[in-house]
Amino acid sequence: MRVDVATGSVQPLLPTPTSVRVPALSPDGRSLAFGMARDGVPAHQARVMIAPAAGGTPRDAAPDLDVAVELVGWLPDSQTVVLSGTDGTRNGLWLAKEGKATKLDLGGLNPASADIGSTGTIAFTASTATRPAELFVLPAPGQAPAQLTSLQTVTDGVTLGRQETLTWKSDGYIADGVITYPPDYKPGEKRPLVLYIHGGPVSASLQTFTTSSQILAAQGWIVLEPNYRGSNNRGYKFQQSIIRDATAGPGRDIMAGVAELKRRGLIDDKRMAVSGWSYGGMMTSWLIGAYPQAWKAAVAGAPVTDVLDQYTTADSNRGRAAQYGPSPFVGDNMASYSRQSPIFQAWKARAPTLIMSDVGDWRVTIPQAYKLYRALSDNKVEVKFVAYPVPGHSPADPIRARDVWRRWVDWLKPRLDSAP
């Protein structure tokens, strides 16, 4: 909205109501850049739009860039915006001007948060495969980034697991993921596999330093972090294909990645575990039921087990309808919600499963975890349920956060390190 401070009159800047993110006026005050979902539909790919500040029809800042992007800000010329997004298993920064986007060469850096100075200097945090995030500065496009801080010393002197990107085909898509090898891995060895599945689902696992994959790889296991359909790293069609297919399609993508690891002779397929938090917990819950013979163990953190509960009780509630389908209470949509819910096939699961959840989780309410525990227990599956008496979607304090990972490793270790 534009407000005339003299008269108090309010006029809309955009022709139709829509939800916008991070609006920013150009330095000359003539244009407004902002983020929004493609076509204004919440479940669609994130775009950056530019509209006249005086009001008018917005245009896509980079219509040919099939990447979910967010706005960083304007350069001083008032013609160029800086965009951030995920492309494959790397984050990137782009300059967009007159509808064309150019990716900045940042070497091996994986940028996260970024900001722009009055002269056009871009400051950003970035991590590498072997080091957590530090602060960098890019004086100007085309120049090399300079590192400003060296604060992250936790990895100094530590031998880390090597990472690489894996790609595979699934249902006509090209999916990808990140492999982290054990630090002592030697070519030709077959090691136990741990799947660590990201949440979201509009997110992606990246080839960069991640504590979770390094903790698991340090136990001697190969770790695969798969980017299943619904992830925001392989374009609009890949992200959208999860709609009304929240579990089965992503599950096939993940299992196709596992099959590729088998084909390459990297893993001992008699010793495989599946794990994840939030949507990763949802996919864990789905996979132990859909592929019950595949797993020696499972860890499901804050798992979505019933998408009806997710629609009716989560803080995102009705917004989820754009992903799972229209309201379950309209027509026969309830059947679609049931088909997408892991709980309706949990009776088939056989893997010993650790379930963890916060009592005060508003994103995935704890009754969903209770359901999974009861389903596994009633079917005589080995299961343990740990409820943390804290608010939030996962334990945030350092003591409980460490406890989560200790339990995660302790649950998997005796089951993966024993002979098949």
| Residue 18: band (very low, low, confident or very high) from pLDDT cuts 50, 70, 90 | low
Compute φ and ψ for 328, nearest 5 degrees.
Answer: -70, -15
DSSP-derived secondary structure for 126-163? EEETTEEEEEEEESSTTSPPEE------TTTTPPPPPE
Q: Which helix (H) or strand (E) holds 420?
A: none
Q: Which residues pair with 417 in a beta bridge?
A: none
Q: What is the pLDDT of residues 49-98, one digit of tens each?
A: 999 988 788 899 999 999 999 999 999 999 999 999 999 999 999 999 99
Let me know: does 252 contact 230? Beta carbons within 8 Å.
Answer: no
State residue 284's pLDDT score.
98
Q: What is the mean pLDDT of residues 164-192?
A: 96
Residue 181, token pair as written in the block:
């090898």
CB atoms within 10 A of CB 185: 17
State residue 319's pLDDT score.
73
Query: Cβ contacts of residue 97 below 8 Å, gap of 6+?
Result: 79, 80, 81
Let me know: does 353 contact 297? Beta carbons within 8 Å.
Answer: yes
Q: Is the pLDDT of residue 383 over 70?
A: yes
Domain 2-147 belongs in CATH node 2.120.10.30: yes
Q: What is the pLDDT of residues 91-135, one digit of tens each?
A: 999 999 999 999 999 988 999 999 999 999 999 999 998 899 999
355: nearest Cα among 341, 338, 372, 367? 372
Q: What is the pLDDT of residues 332-351, one digit of tens each?
A: 899 999 999 999 999 999 99
Let me know: does 60 contact 53? Beta carbons within 8 Å.
Answer: no
State residue 271's pLDDT score.
97
d(CA 106, CA 104): 6
Across the chain, what does the average pLDDT equal? 93
Query: What are the residue boundaries of the structural domains of the chain, listed by start?
Result: 2-147, 163-416
State residue 115's pLDDT score.
94
% of the chain beyond a pLDDT of 90: 80
Compute φ and ψ for 300, nearest 5 degrees.
Answer: -115, 110
* Strands (DSSP E) found in 7-140: 10-11, 21-25, 31-37, 46-52, 59-60, 69-74, 80-87, 90-97, 100-103, 110-116, 122-128, 131-138
CB atoms within 10 A of CB 252: 18
State residue 126's pLDDT score.
96
Angle between helix 279-290 and 248-263 (nearest 10): 70
Q: What is the mean pLDDT of residues 230-249?
A: 93
Q: What is the pLDDT of residues 267-298, one digit of tens each?
A: 999 999 999 999 999 999 999 999 999 999 99
163-416 topology per CATH: Rossmann fold (3.40.50)
